[in-house]
DNA sequence: GAGCATTGATTTTTT
DNA sequence: ATCAATGCTC
């Protein structure tokens, strides 16, 4: 028997594989060779199908584990798939499959193969390349625009970076775009693109998009490598195929070999012998077109692969009929789609509750009170998600959750790895790993301050460019740069010595030890401690904590990773998002954007902020492009179909926003058009308010700082009456709530002497004095971190914690 | 060169 | 409202 196959008893394994599958799922799992397209509606069990398909290839079709390549949308999904495969075939086999996102798979393969690559312009990379995130690549684009003497107003670096990214996602290299550029602007853009790319090579860095693009380009120019990989990956599985872009699709086609146009069916069958390609997706859930994902690829798939087996999974096992009807009634309004009807396999379920808050705080209170009621009925917070369109919306939600001691887990948002101190330290690590990285050099050279300013740096950069050496190398040779002052030269040389010392340590210390050493030897910790103790910066404590956290992350990594070295640590943190780190089981409600919720499911879902301009977002409305609006609608569809049992939809009648045109001001809102697309009899307002279905204010809203003036009626769009959901008085929390509303209640939360309070910036504190009364009340608060401060509760963001 | 004050730009989703 | 970039002073 071949060691590359597993020979399980046909009977039991077959049973395990087929158990619980419906006819269509079974068909997909047990396909033989060739290409297949699985159109899988939300909740139709596509993850199960993919997993079992992989195991079927291993066990029944006796394929080698190494021959299977499975592409998922997130690293978390990859981890889960590997776990599920492992539970069926054991760790020895499971670890030999290649499972990951496009980016992580390409990064892994490039680590081994990039030495073979040379671009058309002759650019090359070394094995120890680093991966640039958005910030790194943004600052490189900016440098490039400046160096080319272009007007930053006309060629805004932000836009240029975005344009380059879009080109790369469409599969165009700098050379290819240059030959296509016709207009003046495109000409300049190609100039920037070329210089930017050269800059990346000089820094021995790749951006996100390069991981796939460069790998494709390498496969194009190296037929040997291509055949090698085609031989190896005989079975390719792709999840979330509707969100694949041209560059990614090209990679798939390279690995699976193109089908020659005029080839007989017989030859085609031969071509696919002991090979397979299965793509799984749902056009209605395509939500990444802004990243150049193109769901038309899925529509054209059968043309590219002629003998494709088409399988539709239309049985939904996730949601109640009510939820599915809502989803279907919304998505029906899209024109660009494949007709598909989800069949429900569960009961009718409850109607969808809709709530209109006075403002975003009131809206959040409704959610929190509803959460408490769910908890009282024995429902876990961890089975519940609050989904929103933009990250900024998490703020008001968090505030109210904290006040009510409701544990929550925020996913995405300001990501841990985006924090300044974390990026600083990672820049050190990148520079230690790859001394050519100029962006990391520039980030670390004066952090903490080493007395090196702009002019000294300009001299160093000039010297490095003239001699075609890295900035770090130039720093080593600083005493040979005449323009530098003796002090500056010494400072550069010292820094170079520091990095050299750390590079040496990196060869025999673990990543976490290296982190500790670099933090102390660079003076970074000392700087933060000084800032913290001098009370100049109250956030310094928090930043020190974040750095401890990073060391913990490194220690965890060391205990879990196959190869716990600096290289894999850096690759990992470059590609792993917060979403991938979501812990299971923790009893906390999950907060995330609709985009982050893709692929997840929850018993209870709150969709918040259903307002015109927010969801659908202004950008998609202002673009006047039906396609953009349809994508927002798909996003709504994704949100609705995350829910298994209960779905809530909320919005606020007014919202403090800096999105809808005027910054920092409060605007009255119009309910989202998506609400009016739902059949009214699927919705219900709150039963606790049957007596006052009026939109007129009842009392002053105690959660907002201004008297309520509902102009809801006037701001209604000129759409017919059915556009108005039949809701909804103001939400009145249960009476046990601490500060029940009265007419004379001030417009802020009142505190008493001795109350423990929390401030977003100063942290924990205690009320030591109350000055004045009523509307004019002021508090003297002693903060643990920064001593006493007088605060006006009308403005300070204070939250009572006891 | 560092620290502070002012000015200007900002407006989605993320591997 | 908030932050980054710029300008001014020591």
Q: What is the mean pLDDT of chain A?
A: 84
The DSSP letter of residue A308 is P
pLDDT for res A195: 93
Q: Which positions of strand B lie within 7 Å of protein CB atoms? A: 1-3, 10-15
The answer to whether residue A708 is catalytic is no
* CB neighbours of residue A36 within 10 Å: 23
pLDDT in tens, A592-619: 999 999 999 999 999 999 999 899 998 8
Cβ pair A89, A6 in contact under 8 A: yes
And the tokens for A552?
Answer: 């913990």
A611-CA/C1-C1' distance, Å = 21
pLDDT at A685: 80
User: Does nucleic acid strand B have an atom less than 7 angstroms from the CB of A596?
Assistant: yes
Q: How far is the CA of A88 from the C1' of B11 (A)?
A: 49
Q: Residue A306 above 80 pLDDT?
A: yes
Active site residue A360: no
Report the share of chain A in percent with pLDDT over 90: 57
Question: By mean pLDDT, which of A3-7, A495-499, A567-571, A670-674 is the weakest?
Answer: A3-7
Mean pLDDT, residues A23-43: 95
Is the per-residue pLDDT at A793 higher than 60?
A: no
Residue A562, judged by CB atoms within 10 A of its CB (0-12, 13-18, 19+), counts as: exposed
Spot the catalytic one: A5, A16, A18, A47: A47
Is strand B within 7 Å of residue A582 (CB)? no
Catalytic residue among A113, A210, A239, A531: A239
For residues A400 and A361, the answer to whether their CB atoms sit within 8 Å is yes
Length of chain A: 802
Q: Give the range with max mean pLDDT: A262-276, A525-539, A677-691.
A: A262-276
Nearest nucleotide to A456, CA against C1' atoms = B1
3-state secondary structure of A450: coil
User: Nearest nucleotide to A139 by CA–C1' distance?
Assistant: C4
Question: Where residue A770 falls among pLDDT bands split at 50, 70, 90?
Answer: low
Express each pLDDT in A559-583 by its tens digit: 988 889 999 999 988 887 665 665 6
Assess whether A642 carries a catalytic annotation: yes
Mean pLDDT of all residues in A684-698: 42
What percent of chain A stands above pLDDT 70?
Answer: 82
CB A527 within 8 A of CB A562: no
Is the CB of A517 within 7 Å of strand B? Answer: no
CA of A592 to C1' of B4 (A): 38
Q: CA–C1' span, A153 to B9, in Å?
A: 12
A240 labelled catalytic: yes
Closest by Cα among A469, A475, A445, A424 to A204:
A469
Q: Measuring from the CA of residue A491 to each C1', which nucleotide is nearest?
A: B1
Is A621 a residue whose pLDDT tops 90? no
**Which of A280-284, A706-710, A761-765 shows the lowest per-residue confidence on average (mean pLDDT)?**
A706-710
Confidence of residue A798 (pLDDT cuts 50, 70, 90): low
Neighbours of A301 (CB within 10 A): 20
Distance in angstroms (rounded) separating the CA atoms of residues A282 and A40:
6
- CA–C1' span, A631 to B11, in Å? 19
Q: What is the mean pLDDT of residues A498-509?
A: 95
**A162: nearest nucleotide, CA–C1' criterion:** B14
Contact status, residue A167 vs residue A193, Cβ threshold 8 Å: yes
Protein-to-nucleotide distance from the CA of A453 to the C1' of C10, whole angstroms = 16
Give pLDDT tens digits for A212-256. Answer: 999 999 999 999 999 999 999 999 999 999 999 999 999 999 999
Q: Is A712 helix (H, G, I), strand (E, B) or coil?
A: helix
Decide if A87 contacts A120 (C-beta within 8 A): no
DSSP assigned state of A616: T
Catalytic residue (choose from A168, A202, A430, A642): A642
Mean pLDDT along residues A119-124 = 95
* Phi and psi angles of residue A775, each rounded to the nearest 5 degrees, phi first: -55, -30
Active site residue A603: no
Phi-psi region of A117 (alpha: psi -120 to 50; beta: other; left: phi over 0): beta
- In chain A, the N- to C-terminal Cα span, in Å, equals 68
Nucleotide closest to A142 measured between CA and C1': C5
Which one has a higher pLDDT value, A765 or A346?
Answer: A346
What b-and-e string marks burial along A411-447, b requiring 16 or more CB atoms within 10 Å of the CB? bbbebebebebbbbbbbbbbbbbbbbbbbbbbbbbbb
Q: Work out the pLDDT band at A709, boundaries 50, 70, 90.
A: very low
pLDDT at A330 over 50: yes
Encode pLDDT of A72-117 as tens digits: 999 889 999 999 999 999 999 999 999 999 999 999 999 999 999 9
Tell me: pLDDT of A20 over 60: yes
Report DSSP state, residue A436: T
Active site residue A418: no
Q: A456-486: per-residue pLDDT in tens?
A: 898 999 999 999 999 999 999 999 998 888 8
Is the model's pLDDT at A713 over the cut of 50? no
Q: How far apart are CA A667 and CA A214, in angstroms?
A: 46
Average pLDDT over residues A277-282: 96
Q: pLDDT of A57-75, one tens digit each?
A: 999 999 999 999 999 999 8
Measure A543 CA to B8 C1' (Å): 28
């Amino acid at each position: 028997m071949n060691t590359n196959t597993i020979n399980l008893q046909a009977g039991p394994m077959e049973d395990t594989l087929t158990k619980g599958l419906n006819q269509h799922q079974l068909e997909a799992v047990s396909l033989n060779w060739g290409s297949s397209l699985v159109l899988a509606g939300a909740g139709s069990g596509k993850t199960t199908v993919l997993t079992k398909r992989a195991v079927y290839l291993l066990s029944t079709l006796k394929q080698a584990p190494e021959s299977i390549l499975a592409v998922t949308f997130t690293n978390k999904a990859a981890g889960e798939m590997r776990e599920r495969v492992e539970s069926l075939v054991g760790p020895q086999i499971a670890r030999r499959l290649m499972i990951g996102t496009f980016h992580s798979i390409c990064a892994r393969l490039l680590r081994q193969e990039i030495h073979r690559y040379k671009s058309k312009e002759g650019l090359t990379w070394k094995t120890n390349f680093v991966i640039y995130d958005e910030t790194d690549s943004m600052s490189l684009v900016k440098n490039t625009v400046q160096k080319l003497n272009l007007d930053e107003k006309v060629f805004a670096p932000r836009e240029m970076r975005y344009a380059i990214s879009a080109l790369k996602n469409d599969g165009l290299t700098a050379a290819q775009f240059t030959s296509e550029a016709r207009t003046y602007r495109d000409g300049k853009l190609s100039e920037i693109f070329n210089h930017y790319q050269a800059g990346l090579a000089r820094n021995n860095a790749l951006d996100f998009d390069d991981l796939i693009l460069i790998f494709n380009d390498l496969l194009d120019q190296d037929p040997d490598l291509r055949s090698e990989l085609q031989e190896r990956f005989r079975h390719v599985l792709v999840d979330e195929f509707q969100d694949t872009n041209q560059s990614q699709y090209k990679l798939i086609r390279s690995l699976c070999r193109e089908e020659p146009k005029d080839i007989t069916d017989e030859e085609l069958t031969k071509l696919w012998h002991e090979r397979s390609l299965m793509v799984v997706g749902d056009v209605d859930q395509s939500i990444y077109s802004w990243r150049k994902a193109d769901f038309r690829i899925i529509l054209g798939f059968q043309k590219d692969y002629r003998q494709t087996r088409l399988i539709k999974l239309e049985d939904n096992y996730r949601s109640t009929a009510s939820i599915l009807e809502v989803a279907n009634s919304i998505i029906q309004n899209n024109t660009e789609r494949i007709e598909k009807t989800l069949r429900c396999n569960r009961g009718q379920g409850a109607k969808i509750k809709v709530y209109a808050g006075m403002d975003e705080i009131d809206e959040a209170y409704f959610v929190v009170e509803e959460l408490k009621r769910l908890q009282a009925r024995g429902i876990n917070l961890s089975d519940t998600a609050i989904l929103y369109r933009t990250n900024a919306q998490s703020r008001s939600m968090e505030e109210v959750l904290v006040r009510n001691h409701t544990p929550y887990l925020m996913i995405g948002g300001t990501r841990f790895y985006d924090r300044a101190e974390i990026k600083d330290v990672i820049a050190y690590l990148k520079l230690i790993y790859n001394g050519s990285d100029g962006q990391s050099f520039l980030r670390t050279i004066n952090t903490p301050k080493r007395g090196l300013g702009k002019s000294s740096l300009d001299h160093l950069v000039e010297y490095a460019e003239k001699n075609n050496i890295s900035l770090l190398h130039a720093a080593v040779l600083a005493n040979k740069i005449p323009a530098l002052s003796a002090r500056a030269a010494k400072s550069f040389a010292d820094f170079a010595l520091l990095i050299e010392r750390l590079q040496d340590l990196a060869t025999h210390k673990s990543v976490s030890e290296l982190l500790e050493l670099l933090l102390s030897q660079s003076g970074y910790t000392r700087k933060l401690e000084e800032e913290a103790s001098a009370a100049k910066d109250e956030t310094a404590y928090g930043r020190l904590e974040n750095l401890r956290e990073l060391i913990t992350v490194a220690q965890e990594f060391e205990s879990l990773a196959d190869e716990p070295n600096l290289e894999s640590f850096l690759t990992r943190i470059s590609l792993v998002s917060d979403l991938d780190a979501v812990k299971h089981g923790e009893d906390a409600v999950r907060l995330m954007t609709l985009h982050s919720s893709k692929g997840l499911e929850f018993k209870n879902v709150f969709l918040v902020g259903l307002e015109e301009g927010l969801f659908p977002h202004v950008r998609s409305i202002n673009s006047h492009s039906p396609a953009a609006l349809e994508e927002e609608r798909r996003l709504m569809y994704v949100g609705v179909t995350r829910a298994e049992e209960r779905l809530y939809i909320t919005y606020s009648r007014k919202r403090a926003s800096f999105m809808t045109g005027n910054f920092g001001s409060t605007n009255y809102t119009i309910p989202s058009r998506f609400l009016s697309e739902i059949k009214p009899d699927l919705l219900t307002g709150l039963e606790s308010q049957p007596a006052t279905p009026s939109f007129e204010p009842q009392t002053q809203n105690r959660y907002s700082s201004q008297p309520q003036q509902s102009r809801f009626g006037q701001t209604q769009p000129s759409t017919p009456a059915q556009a108005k959901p039949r809701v909804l008085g103001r939400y009145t929390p249960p009476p046990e709530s601490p500060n029940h509303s009265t007419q004379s209640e001030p417009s802020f939360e009142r505190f008493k002497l001795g109350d423990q309070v929390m401030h977003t910036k100063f942290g924990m504190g205690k009320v030591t004095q109350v000055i004045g009364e009523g509307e004019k009340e002021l508090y003297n608060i002693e903060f643990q971190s920064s001593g006493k401060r007088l605060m006006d509760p009308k403005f300070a963001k204070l939250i009572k914690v006891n």
